[in-house]
Amino acid sequence: MRTFVLALLWTVLFAAIPLPSAHAQAAQDPTPLEFVDPVEEKRFRGLIAELRCVMCQNQSLADSNAQIAHDLRREVLVLMRRGLGDAEIRQHLVDRYGEFVLYRPRVGAATFVLWFGPALLLLGGGVVVWRIVRSRSRDGVVPHDDTQEW
């Protein structure tokens, strides 16, 4: 029994640690991007901070040094210069990589819990507390308890 519990514990502990993925990325030395003016650079920085690196997944395109992040940053700049709006650029990437590339997921059926779950939880907790408080105040004074010694 003890070994079973220990084994279970180890399984639970190590299931959470990500294994190194065999899905690899290319490594090349990229040339830095050049901007025509500070306005373009500012818009670009804003955009890539909101897009997720598909390879590294917990970093934005702005933070990641992965090759695919370099490629996608370049793509974003190309699309900007082609005259696409911010929403169009986001949609362009969503069409190819899925909703996942957006750091701020759009409100929809699949992301409803993500957006409103915490608020609903808070509301539920509030209702519970309110009901407890109300039932106690309706009871009025705490009735005399004979088991109490004082």
The contact mask relative to another protein for 62-81 (x = CB under 8 A, - = no) is -----xx--xx--x------
Backbone angles phi, psi at 132, to 5 degrees: -65, -45
Q: Is 83 left (phi over 0), alpha (psi -120 to 50) or beta?
A: left
The contact mask relative to another protein for 28-57 (x = CB under 8 A, - = no) is x-------------------------xx-x
Q: Bridge partners of 52? A: 60
CB-nearer residue toward another protein: 1 or 24: 24
| Window 113 to 132, contacts with another protein (CB under 8 A) | 128, 132
9 part of the interface to another protein, by CB under 8 A: no
16 part of the interface to another protein, by CB under 8 A: yes
CB-based contact 69:111 (threshold 8 Å): no
18 part of the interface to another protein, by CB under 8 A: yes
Q: Where are the alpha helices (DSSP H) in 32-111?
A: 38-49, 67-81, 86-97
Rounded-to-integer distance, Cα 138 and Cα 127, Å: 16
**Angle, CA of 42, 47 and 48, to the nearest 5°:** 100
12 part of the interface to another protein, by CB under 8 A: yes
109 part of the interface to another protein, by CB under 8 A: no
87 part of the interface to another protein, by CB under 8 A: no
Q: How far is CA 122 from CA 19, 30, 108, 115, in A?
A: 35, 47, 21, 13
Chain positions contacting another protein, by CB under 8 A: 12, 15-16, 18-19, 21-28, 54-55, 57, 67-68, 71-72, 75, 94-98, 100, 128, 132
